[in-house]
Amino acid sequence: MEKCRLVFSGSGGQGVITTAIILAEAAVLFDKIKAVQSQSYGPEARGGATRSDVIISDQQINFPKVPQPNVLVCLTQLAYNKFSTIIRPGGILITDPKYVVIESKLAARHHEIPIYKSVMDQIGLPIVCSTCLLGSVLGLTKVVQYKSIVKSLKLRFSGKILETNLKSLDLGVGLVGGFEGIDKLAM
Amino acid sequence: MEKSVKFVQGNEACVEGALYAGLDFFAGYPITPSTEIAESLSFRLPKKGGKFIQMEDEISSMCAIIGASLTGSKVMTATSGPGFSLMQESLGYAVMAEIPCVIVNVQRGGPSTGIPTHISQGDVMQARWGTHGDHSIVAMTASTHQDVFDITVDAFNISETYRTPVILLLDEVVGHLRERLDVPPPGDIPLIERLRTSCSEGIDYHPYLPREDGRLPMSDFGGVHRFNVTGLYHDMWGFPSDNPGVVQGLIRHLVDKIQNNVNLLARYKEYHLEDAECIMVSYGASARSALHVVESRRVRGEKLGLLELQTLWPFPEQIVREKCRNAKHILVVEMNTGQVMEMVKSSVDDPGKVFLANKVDGIFISPTDIRNILRVVQGKGV
């Protein structure tokens, strides 16, 4: 597989770091491929523009940071303004129109995904927005298997909370074209 | 039993290694970027019957582990730069009184409180000479989680074998990075337990009388023997002495037990050194960036190699000299102003071929940074 380099950015508390961890963990523990995850520490992780870098690959990963991501997620205007220029030309840019207004066109495939609105309309709990984002990232990149994400979520959540998160995950996949090419049944 | 696969931070890999090695006492004062070590041990250690104490500061943390080690426990503390500075006095006590202990220093930028959440490798010389007086010490490091695990187990084994503090010099990038760790089943890595005296109760026990092989059997404090432990120069009973013969004998013993075993204590990894024209010498997180450059340039046929040091002290001079003998250029990749570079220069035959590839702004040195410096060293300009 190609090395997939992702940067998740937003504001502290939006769940961008947790999303990155769940994705990388799914790759390592359940897909049995290589992944590394790192994140910004300090005050910016508690507000301001927080950031988490993930690399997923079947090869050994030495340098763990992502100077030029294939996939860039920006969940606040501040994060977009700060990080949008680092995207690899032709990469995938994911934003939520509730938070980000695009001012200039980038040499990237831009997906404006109404994550917040869809989650509020269909689930009503803003806390699961990050799982919806995870679904959209999965749908667009197919970088890990759907069932691996589910297993990774099960490590963290159970009962009703797990159910809501799984619903949000599916919603996220649906927002970017649905389950075509994703093996949902092979659990 | 199967190995257990985890996706954890480097700090947690260190915790796994410590628990595997048989850690039973931890005292510490949480500080960024080492906090996860204390955090994780605060619930992991009591579960296996060990003791976790959050102390009032780093001075008392160091003192607490020294006391606990004397009673027979395997001990560790974890800190970062400012806390490591506070530990120096009692670290010297542990050297003098020959008390096994492991001190983890997850380095951040200094001096002083410096830059807490960013990477640096600026404490290499402090690990060597931070405490006062002539002495020798063991300091180790690692760049991947599997190596952090292995080197932590190793640190405990070395500490118990040589009755010495062992410093684990990790850094912010390795400490906070998440990646895969395979924890081997118990028994896969041999553990070394400390040598205990065979003297029974009522027999005169000499706590500081070395055996012929130089090792000193210990007796658990609070057990059957009463003996003195001091930071002063001491005789074989552990009582203070200013007898010149005793003083010289002890300092020689303290230095020789480490320095005479430099090659036994040396841990390192080598990548493509056989025919390398340019050898990078690196350690910790910086070695990851260096390896990235080496692997990507090898594909193009460039003869680059990497010598990754895992034992920094005692410095493996002979190994560095031999490995670097045929290189045209030696590039020391580190995140300080050249602390290991100076050691490499004094080790190799021609110090003029040693160059520094460093970064000291708190941002992790990248393969691009190294490649840019490499161009200049190779005479290609910017």
| Domains of chain A and CATH, by start | 4-175 (3.40.920.10)
ipTM of the complex: 0.95
CATH code of B316's domain: 3.40.50.920
**Are B175 and B304 part of one and the same domain?**
no
**Tokens of residue B274, six digits:** 């056989």
Instruction: Single out the residue in B149, B183, B217 at which a domain terminates.
Output: B183
Give a yes or no: residue B162 inside a domain.
yes
Taking alpha carbons only, the member of B99, B36, B113 closest to residue B63 is B99
- The total of structural domains in chain B comes to 2
- In this prediction, residues B155-171 reach a mean pLDDT of 98
Q: List the single range of B149-153, B158-162, B199-203, B267-271 with lowest mean pLDDT.
A: B199-203
CATH code of B12's domain: 3.40.50.970
Residues of A in contact with B368 (CB under 8 A): 67
**Are B177 and B280 part of one and the same domain?**
no
- In this prediction, residues B204-216 reach a mean pLDDT of 91
Q: Which domain holds residue B372?
A: 269-377
Tell if the CB–CB gap between A34 and B291 is shorter than 8 Å. no
**Are B175 and B278 part of one and the same domain?**
no
Closest CA of chain A from B131, distance in Å = 30
> Tens digits of per-residue pLDDT, A73-126?
999 999 999 999 999 999 999 999 999 998 788 889 999 999 999 999 999 999
> Tens digits of per-residue pLDDT, B46-71?
999 999 999 999 999 999 999 999 99
**DSSP designation for B316:** -
- In this prediction, residues A44-58 reach a mean pLDDT of 87
- In this prediction, residues B130-134 reach a mean pLDDT of 97
In angstroms, the Cα distances linking A154 to A10, A151, B218 are 24, 5, 48
Residues of A in contact with B175 (CB under 8 A): none
**Are B54 and B175 part of one and the same domain?**
yes
Query: What are the backbone dihedrals phi and psi of residue B283, each rounded to the nearest 5 degrees, phi first?
Result: -165, 160
Closest CA of chain A from B373, distance in Å = 17
C-beta of residue A28 within 8 angstroms of C-beta of residue B179: yes
Instruction: Single out the residue in B183, B207, B238 at which a domain terminates.
Output: B183
**Are B177 and B276 part of one and the same domain?**
no
Give a yes or no: residue B229 inside a domain.
no
> Tens digits of per-residue pLDDT, B291-316?
999 999 999 999 999 999 999 999 99
Give a yes or no: residue B252 inside a domain.
no
**Are B15 and B119 part of one and the same domain?**
yes
> Tens digits of per-residue pLDDT, B4-21?
999 999 999 999 999 999
**Most A CBs within 10 Å: which of B9, B106, B180, B363, as the mutation test of the A interface?**
B180
Taking alpha carbons only, the member of A20, A31, A71, A55 closest to residue B288 is A55
Residues of B in contact with A35 (CB under 8 A): 7, 179-180
Taking alpha carbons only, the member of B41, B38, B111 closest to residue B78 is B38
- The pLDDT-based confidence of B135 (bands split at 50, 70, 90) is very high
Residues of A in contact with B176 (CB under 8 A): 38-39, 41
**Are B152 and B283 part of one and the same domain?**
no
**Are B167 and B283 part of one and the same domain?**
no
Residue A38 forms contact with B (CB below 8 Å): yes
Give a yes or no: residue B129 inside a domain.
yes
Instruction: Single out the residue in B120, B151, B183 at which a domain terminates.
Output: B183
Q: Specify the pLDDT at position B60.
A: 98
Tell if the CB–CB gap between A61 and B179 is shorter than 8 Å. yes
Residues of B in contact with A62 (CB under 8 A): 288-289, 291-292, 295
**Are B312 and B177 part of one and the same domain?**
no
Helices (H), chain B: 10-21, 35-47, 58-70, 81-96, 124-129, 145-162, 172-176, 244-259, 262-265, 284-298, 317-324, 339-347, 367-377
**pLDDT cut 70: percent of chain B above it:** 100
C-beta of residue B368 within 8 angstroms of C-beta of residue B345: no
